[in-house]
Amino acid sequence: MEPSPLTAGTLYLVATPIGNLEDITLRALRVLRECDVVAAEDTRRSGQLLRHFGIQKPLLSCFQFNEAKRSEEIIERLRRGEKVALVTDAGSPGISDPGERVVRAAIAAGLRVEPVPGPSALVAALTASGLPTAEFHFVGFLPHKSGQRRKRLEGLKGVPGVLVFYESPFRVVKLLEELKDIFPERQVVLARELTKKFEEYLRGTPSELLEAMKTRAVKGEFVVMVSPAGFTIDD
């Protein structure tokens, strides 16, 4: 299929690498080259990405705390016929990253939204986890407060399929302690530094993983996956 020109007045949701820059798609590069402006979660980080690929474009900040207000400006640009590429620091806009409000605003205004799919930590981790992939429930980041986190985890006990969380290196041990209390017999897979030099997968029960974490530095962003009840890695 021959690539078609970008459509005026369209919001393009461009997935960007989660680590390895080779993972950017040819289509993503073309959209970034041909758009009128790039709305970015972090203009410095996205600026580095664009420079790496020899692309020069105006950058517009669009992050968690200004997304609602920035949406108005993006909608006005789209109404004028501009082609806007929305990117986040890594992965797909709107998946545990800014973008959802902008998309809703564009749809409400009757404007066109087009995804430019690509790298995703969720998909990368799940496919290499060894856990069943037919059904899964993506939770994203849990609340920071312990009481709210525990309540959320308790509420997930009856959810079928694999549970998938994003977690920072600062809270992953705490999460394993909570999983030990709530899902003690479940198989858990920790995926860290995905697509990077030190990519790693750790597998075991919450207790086994807590023991393993004592002997290693806790670095990098984690994808934490919890198996369905009754699953064993030999299934």
Same domain, 69 and 153: no
Residue 235's pLDDT is 56
CATH at residue 220: 3.30.950.10
- The DSSP bridge pattern shows strands 37-40 and 112-116 to be unpaired
**235 vs 189, higher pLDDT:** 189
What are the tens digits of pLDDT across the range 124-159? 999 999 999 999 999 999 999 989 999 999 999 999
Mean pLDDT (whole number) for 28-40: 98
Choosing from 116, 137, 162, the residue where a domain stops is 116
Contact in structure between 161 and 229 (CB atoms under 8 Å): no
Of 116, 135, 150, which residue is a domain's last?
Answer: 116
Number of domains in the chain: 2
- For residues 3-16, give the mean pLDDT: 95
What three-state secondary structure class fits 74? helix
- Average pLDDT of the residues in 41-52: 96
Please tell me the predicted confidence (pLDDT) of residue 64: 83
Residue 4 forms part of a structural domain: no
Closest CA to 113 of 145, 169, 161, 71: 71
Split at pLDDT 50, 70, 90, the class of 167 is very high
Tokens (6 digits) for 75: 């909608």
Q: Is the pLDDT of residue 206 over 60?
A: yes
In a domain, 3, yes or no: no
Strand partners, 140: 165
Q: Residue 233's pLDDT is what? A: 72
- Measured between alpha carbons, how far is residue 121 from residues 15, 74, 96 in Å? 11, 27, 11
User: Residue 10: in which H helix or E strand, if any?
Assistant: strand 10-14
Exposure class string for 99-127: b at 16+ Cβ within 10 A, else e:
bebbbebbeebebebeebebbbbbbbbbe
Q: Tell me what percent of the residues of the chain surpass a pLDDT of 90.
A: 89
Q: What does pLDDT average to over the chain?
A: 95
Kind and range of the H or E run holding 113: strand 112-116
Residue 190: inside a domain, yes or no?
yes
At 72-123, the pLDDT tens digits run 999 999 999 999 999 999 999 999 999 999 999 999 999 999 999 999 999 9
User: 50 lies in a domain?
Assistant: yes
For residue 95, what are the domain limits?
A: 10-116
Q: Tell me the longest C-alpha to C-alpha distance in the chain.
A: 57
Return the pLDDT at 154: 97
Domain for residue 5, yes or no?
no
pTM recorded for the entire structure: 0.93
